[in-house]
Amino acid sequence: MVNNTDLFFVEDDIDFAFIMENAVQELKNEVSIQIVQNGRESLDILTQMAIENFKPKLILLDLNLPGLSGIDLLKEIRDLPYFRYMPIVLFSTSANPKDIKAALEFGANAYVTKPSGYLNLVICLQSIYDFWFVQHSTLD
């Protein structure tokens, strides 16, 4: 299975996932997005990607996931040697400093609070794209 995912997004809210998918299509550059709704399934998919020697360009994790939280999922991903240096951003409605601190302590490269409103989401995603896909250098 050849994968061409640029953005791997773990989000349990189906409505927000749909909005996100549409917002990504509005970016100046084409970005392929794969949305997974829970942590366990995302770990299975990421493990398969590692077997196939494929990495998305960026992983976005929601903080409040059922079962395996975004922080727990972050820890699990960081334990996979293949994804140790993978850019991972927590993307959540929470602006709680404790959540931000936990995300950064457990290996997130950044923490972004989900903006309100569709236009603000598109602007936020364009900023994420500009930094993580254009300006930021990663290790293979």
What domains does the chain contain, in order, with CATH numbers? 7-135 (3.40.50.2300)
| Predicted TM-score (pTM) of this structure | 0.92
Cα separation of 20 and 14, whole Å?
10
The whole-number pLDDT of residue 2 equals 47
Q: Decide: 48 and 99 in contact? Cβ < 8 Å.
A: no
How confident is the model at residue 139, as a pLDDT? 59
Q: Which residues contact 57 (CB under 8 A, 6 or more apart)?
A: 6, 7, 87, 132, 133, 138
User: Going along 2-87, which residue ranges are E strands?
Assistant: 7-10, 33-36, 58-61
Give me the amino acid identity at 115: P
**pLDDT tens by residue, 35-81:** 999 999 999 999 999 999 999 999 999 999 988 999 999 999 999 99
The structure tokens 């992983």 sit at 59
